[in-house]
Amino acid sequence: MKPTLTIYPNVAKKDAKRGLIPIYVRVIHKRIKAEGKIPINGITEQEYLKWDPRTLRFIGKFGQTDHLFSVQTDHQKLLLKLM
């Protein structure tokens, strides 16, 4: 079974003070799940509207998060090698 890597904004845990939505990563391998928050500031509601859940990426470019999602494929390849 191949490991899966999912990156997603978690709207349910939106920061009430700053109004930012945190981004989480979930890895599943052999029915074992690990999940955690990615240590970035979060995204705004406007950025969330540009999130494509099918491709797990933003439509367009986003400063701090752009680099994070551009290396997602490399992380998936690394996971396959480690597992």
Q: How confident is the model at residue 69 (pLDDT cuts 50, 70, 90)?
A: low
Q: Which two tokens stand for residue 37?
A: 């928050």
> Could you tell me the pTM of the whole model?
0.68
Instruction: List the one residue out of 34, 27, 40 whose CA is nearest residue 1.
Output: 27
Name the band, by pLDDT with cuts 50, 70 and 90, for residue 72: low
12-61 pLDDT, tens digit each: 999 889 999 998 988 898 889 988 888 878 888 888 888 888 877 777 76
pLDDT at 80 exceeding the cut of 80: no
The alpha carbons of the chain give a radius of gyration, in whole angstroms, of 13
What domain range includes position 66? Answer: 4-82
Q: How many domains does the chain have?
A: 1
Residue 62 phi/psi, 5-degree rounding, is: -140, 105
* Distance of alpha carbon 79 from alpha carbon 29, whole angstroms: 9
Question: Burial level of 75, CB count in 10 A (0-12/13-18/19+)?
Answer: middle
